[in-house]
Amino acid sequence: MTPNQTLNGRYKIIRPLGEGGMANVYLAHDLILDRDVAVKLVRFDMQDDVSAIKRFQREALSTTELVHPNIVGVYDIGEEHGMNYLIMEYVEGQNLKQYIRDQFPIPLGQVVSLMSQILNGVQTAHYHGIIHRDLKPQNILIDKHGKAKITDFGIAIANQQSSFTRTNTVIGSVQYLSPEQVRGHIATQQSDIYSLGIILFEMLTGKVPFEGESAVSIAVKHYQDQLPLVKDFNTKIPQSLENVVLKATAKNPIDRYKNVAEMAADLKTVLQPERANESKFVEDSLVEHTIVLNQDELKQGLAKDEVEKTRPIKLKMNNKINFAKKEKAPDAEESHMHRFKRRHPLRRRALFMAMAAVAFILGILIAFKLSSPQMVQVPNLEDLTQKQAMTKLSKVNLGVGKITKEADDKTSYNKVVETLPQSGKYVQEGIKVNIVISKGPNSFDVDNYVGSDYSSTKKQLEAKGFTIKKRKIVTNRFDNNRIISQDVVSGQVVVPRVTTITFTVAN
């Protein structure tokens, strides 16, 4: 797009605002409502990617539900000359990445305020069942009044498949990527919470926690390395605030905040005096249980052992032992040696405690394993009805997410076109699978069905979305159940789902 070019006869392009991994953004003026807007156009090199375009449109539609002061509003969705676009609220200001660079160090009170606004926006999205998947400072705008607004909700999923092939794009995203996303698992609310923790880390330190020469090396660090401590960058940061970062970025999602509301509530009080002496947060899954032995009992046991060791030597050195005693001495010594080899009660107690500790640790590991979400494969639902799809998903402990309908030339009316995640993907049990249902083709060239069998024709056309009616006429000129005439003219182009065809049938 070039300046002064008009999109859809309404949005006059003023100048480019930026480029992303999937779309370019322009400042434009709405000629009807007389206001500035942001126009997001799918990049030219992705216009032919049918899968990406479908997801762009579907996710864009879902974000129209998100009306919140901390989320960039979506006003309009459309297509012109093959160009798919979004019309969004124009936020005059800069993104959070630029804001951190220009304003660092940011006062702690301001960090808490901005982060609270971001959490409020994400909480609204999660309430509507929408996970951002690509939260990073570049997707958070700060307006001229200091208000934070999140953008690009849902767009990340359309870019997900190509992210590791676009180096410049993925470097910006992988620095905020959760460990489970690195492993290829589907993103959850806890994945967004991890990204929010990394954003908070950057606001406090001015840096991202992990850097590297490639996206893969950074991703591995998120999976393996412990996060640096923010207090090492600034000792004035209270432990309570560092704890929010540590809990949000726990490697195991179970150790993170259960939801964004819990994180927001914790962040709200971090600067209060009563939390000044808070202890450092430690992930439950990393806690090791150590058994402490009683030192006095241990010393007494060792002393008794020394006494036991000296007895055989004293028996050998006694010169007054008679012959009879000498004959019995080996038996006595052998008996004593057997007695010495028996474990001391303290040793038995220590062994028992060690075994109990091992059993306890094994129990924890088994419980963790059992409580961890199991991975299941998304079944193939194509060409199933909505009811059949729901039944098949429930059999593998998966739920049904958002159900949308779209035109499709290849899939029968009211049958499943595709799912998100796609069939064959492994996901956690309990995840909700979004389903796309076919509305049939957008347009259809009606054929001449005179002389055809009514039953087979009816079945064929209903699969396209038509409503079929039958009018019977008694006649000997046509075989029984043959179509005599039709009320929609052959060659007429119609939209099946809003068209009724009445056939006159021989009886």
Q: Each residue of 167-201: pLDDT tens digit? A: 333 434 789 999 988 887 888 899 999 999 999 99
pLDDT value, residue 411: 85
The yes-or-no answer to whether 6-89 and 93-286 have a common fold is: no
Four-CA torsion 151, 157, 161, 166, nearest 10 degrees: 0
Q: What residue spans define the domains of the chain?
A: 6-89, 93-286, 295-369, 375-438, 444-506
Confidence at 314, pLDDT banded by 50, 70, 90: very low
Mean pLDDT to the nearest integer, 196-215: 92
Q: How many helices (H) and strands (E) does the chain have?
A: 15, 19
Confidence at 379, pLDDT banded by 50, 70, 90: very high
Confidence at 157, pLDDT banded by 50, 70, 90: very low
The residues assigned a catalytic role are 134
Confidence at 231, pLDDT banded by 50, 70, 90: very high
Residue 150 pLDDT more than 70? yes
Mean pLDDT to the nearest integer, 19-40: 86
pLDDT value, residue 109: 93
DSSP 241-252: HHHHHHHHT-SS
246-264 per-position pLDDT tens digit = 999 999 899 999 999 999 9
Rounded-to-integer distance, Cα 189 and Cα 179, Å: 13
Mean pLDDT to the nearest integer, 436-440: 85
Phi, psi of 484 (to 5 degrees): -95, -40
Non-local CB neighbours of 24 within 8 Å, separated by 6+ positions = 1, 16, 18, 40, 41, 43
Rounded-to-integer distance, Cα 113 and Cα 469, Å: 63
Supply the pTM of this predicted model.
0.55
- Burial category of 495 from C-beta neighbours within 10 Å (exposed 0-12, middle 13-18, buried 19 and up): middle
In this structure, of 148-157, 428-437, 463-472, the range with the lowest mean pLDDT score is 148-157
pLDDT value, residue 340: 43
- Burial category of 102 from C-beta neighbours within 10 Å (exposed 0-12, middle 13-18, buried 19 and up): exposed
Give the residue carrying structure tokens 């030339």: 409
Rounded-to-integer distance, Cα 155 and Cα 192, Å: 14
pLDDT value, residue 172: 45
CA torsion sign for 232, 233, 234, 238 is negative
Residue 154 pLDDT more than 70? no
Instruction: Give the count of beta carbons closer than 10 Å to the beta carbon of residue 435.
Output: 22
Residue 237 pLDDT more than 90? yes
116 vs 24, 135, 265, 270, CA distance in Å?
29, 15, 9, 12
Cα end-to-end span (Å), the chain: 62
Helix, strand, or coil (residue 358): helix
Tokens linked to 155: 């767009």
399-406 and 432-438 as β-strands: parallel, antiparallel, unpaired? parallel
Confidence at 161, pLDDT banded by 50, 70, 90: very low
DSSP 453-504: BHHHHHHHHHHHT-EEEEEEE--SSS-TTBEEEESSPTT-EE-GGG-EEEEE
Higher-scoring residue by pLDDT: 201, 438: 201
CA torsion sign for 70, 71, 76, 79 is positive
Residue 365 pLDDT more than 70? no
| Binding-site residues from annotation | 40
Are residues 70 and 118 in contact, defined by beta-carbon separation less than 8 angstroms? yes
Angle between helices 189-205 and 260-268 (to 10 degrees): 30
Mean pLDDT to the nearest integer, 467-489: 88
Higher-scoring residue by pLDDT: 71, 289: 71
Assigned CATH topology for domain 444-506 = Trypsin Inhibitor V; Chain A (3.30.10)
Non-local CB neighbours of 243 within 8 Å, separated by 6+ positions = 266, 270, 278, 280, 281
Amino acid at 487: D
CATH number, domain 6-89: 3.30.200.20
Query: What is the overall mean pLDDT for the chain?
Result: 80
Mean pLDDT to the nearest integer, 366-372: 58
Mean pLDDT to the nearest integer, 32-47: 84
Mean pLDDT to the nearest integer, 201-206: 96
CATH number, domain 93-286: 1.10.510.10
Residue 163 pLDDT more than 60? no
pLDDT value, residue 335: 46
Which top CATH class is 375-438? alpha beta
DSSP element (H, E) containing 103: helix 96-103
| Binding-site residues from annotation for ATP | 40
Mean pLDDT to the nearest integer, 403-430: 84
C-alpha 263: how far from chain center: 17
Mean pLDDT to the nearest integer, 396-411: 84
In the chain, % of residues over pLDDT 90: 31
343-354 per-position pLDDT tens digit = 556 677 777 777
